[in-house]
Amino acid sequence: MTATTIRDVRDAVRSRSRSATDVCRGALDRIAALDPTLHAFNTVVADRALARAEAIDREPDRWREAPLAGVPVALKDNLCTRGVRTTASSRILDSFVPPYSATVVDRLERAGAVVVGKTNCDEFAMGSSNENSAYGPVRNPWAPDRIPGGSSGGSAAAVAADITPLALGSDTGGSIRQPAALCGVVGLKPTYGRVSRYGLIAFGSSLDQIGPITRTAYDAALALSVIAGADPADATSAPEAVPDYTTFLSGLTGDVRNARIGVPRRLLEQGVDADVLRAIDEALDVLRSRGATLVDVDLPHAKYAISVYYLIATAEASSNLARYDGVRYGYRASARDLRDMYGKTRAHGFGPEVKRRIMLGTYVLSAGYYDAYYLKAQQVRTLILRDYDEAFREDIVAIAMPTSPTAAFPIGERVSDPLQMYLADVFTVSANLAGLPAISVPCGFTGGRLPIGLQLTGRRFDEATLLRLADAYERDTEWSKQLPPIAHR
């Protein structure tokens, strides 16, 4: 059995060798078979999905050129979908049904994609293990007693288990890339501004970005070509033209000669598992054998990235989550007066990690501490950004490092120690702070058969180079074709 790709499904539907309805039923059947174990979905929209698939089958001419004709897609449950419950895996939004869809959802559907459901995630996308979901954790398809990573854990698990060839996630500090790495699939966080955030439930507005989780780099290129682009509804979406990212791949032979890839060796000296280091070194050897040049780079301020991130992201979160007050939507606690209602609604509606971050963010923004923490963190953010600019000045087109310092850890191992949990993001947060695109590509397994991811970070708006490097790497390796045992059911 081989993994399904977007490209295969799309081509089959367009050539009418397979109906969109048949493809859709296949995805729904796999959800029914596997999701009781994985718990990757909060909501499955079988009727809506089948109706859309049947509509595609009824009008083949209309969809013949559609880039995602009949492709089943799973959406992280923090992406608003008109008429479909959207919870962000929070009790406070348990019954929320958005009156509009996120721009990315509209774009996917216009391209022929068929939404099959909303995926489980950490509450409000805050977490690295999916254990912060109000609906319970997602399980890693490679080892169901382990976490899938977070916060887009359900999206990564759905693709890894071959339920859908495409899922969307959101990435504020690694939430697309880290679960993709831990589940053995491809995850792309685009440049800040490349993809509209309209309809994404906000967490850290200067950091959040939506991106695809797929089986291959080619599929990520296909999906990005559909969802990228300026949007009048998002003032931070970028006016830069959107290329067809697949043209950077299809005509090429995986040639990456002359590509200079930076490796921040000093950053990897501490806290990285031996299996992960070995896999990264082997992956870099593959790229070198294809003609890439490896260059040592120094990112002297990257070691502060975790601290800077948790000061800035929590500050933004405390502000963004002030809107959940029990007035206009979501859960409301019964109370004696308005202030009491606010306090009780938020106390009952939010889970522990969300409360922790609201508290931290409120503190760092409060009078007397703003300069010492929030402003200071923003200044160090500038230094982190300058480190990357400096590295890219030397003709370097990408910087390589692990996506995660470890493979998937057991469910429950870190829940009582938030600091330990935050360290899972040590290699991913910098790309968000600097607004740069970054991709995670499967690059091997631990001795215990857990997936490992290689992360490549690129120049602003140069997703094409990352996709080209990832595609070249996939040509010489078999990692992206491997399916976890559960997927063979």
Catalytic residues: 76, 151, 175
With 0-12 / 13-18 / 19 or more C-beta atoms within 10 angstroms meaning exposed / middle / buried, residue 347 is exposed
Residues 133-172 contacting another protein, CB under 8 A: none
Cα–Cα distances (Å) from 103 to 6, 81, 214, in that order, read 20, 10, 20
Residues 226-245 contacting another protein, CB under 8 A: 230, 232, 235-236, 238-240
Q: Locate 488 and state its tokens.
A: 């063979």
Residue selected from 301, 414, 459, 468 as contacting another protein according to rule CB under 8 A: 301
* Minimum distance of another protein from residue 333's CB (angstroms): 9
442, 418, 464: which is closest to 181 by C-alpha? Answer: 442
Segment contacting another protein (CB under 8 A): 92-100, 133-141, 156-164, 265-273? 92-100
Which of 116/391 has CB closer to another protein?
A: 391
Residue selected from 10, 146, 381, 414 as contacting another protein according to rule CB under 8 A: 381
* Minimum distance of another protein from residue 295's CB (angstroms): 24
Binding mask 11-50 for another protein (x = CB under 8 A): ----------------------------------------
The 3-class secondary structure across 294-308, one letter per residue, is EEECCCCCHHHHHHH
Helix ranges (DSSP H) in 236-375: 247-250, 274-289, 305-320, 338-349, 352-365
Residue 456: which residues within 8 A CB-CB, separation 6 or more? 261, 398, 399, 400, 438, 439, 441, 466, 469, 470
Which of 100/445 has CB closer to another protein?
A: 100
Is residue 270 close enough to count as binding another protein by CB under 8 A? no
Query: Do residues 377 and 239 make contact, with C-beta atoms less than 8 angstroms apart?
Result: no
Which of 183/384 has CB closer to another protein?
A: 384
Is residue 359 close enough to count as binding another protein by CB under 8 A? yes
Residues 391-450 contacting another protein, CB under 8 A: 418-419, 422, 433-435
Separation between Cα atoms, residue 286 and residue 281, nearest integer Å:
9
Residue selected from 73, 276, 311, 472 as contacting another protein according to rule CB under 8 A: 311
Residue type, 433: L
Is residue 370 close enough to count as binding another protein by CB under 8 A? no
Q: Is the peptide bond before 151 cis (omega within 30 degrees of 0)?
A: yes
Is residue 376 close enough to count as binding another protein by CB under 8 A? yes
* Minimum distance of another protein from residue 171's CB (angstroms): 14
Residues 52-81 contacting another protein, CB under 8 A: none
Q: Locate 283 and state its tokens.
A: 């992956």
Number of chain positions touching another protein (CB under 8 A): 72
Separation between Cα atoms, residue 399 and residue 339, nearest integer Å:
49
Separation between Cα atoms, residue 109 and residue 49, nearest integer Å:
11
* Minimum distance of another protein from residue 29's CB (angstroms): 32
Residues 172-211 contacting another protein, CB under 8 A: 192-193, 206
Which of 8/240 has CB closer to another protein?
A: 240
Is residue 96 close enough to count as binding another protein by CB under 8 A? yes
CB atoms < 10 A from the CB of 22, how many? Answer: 13
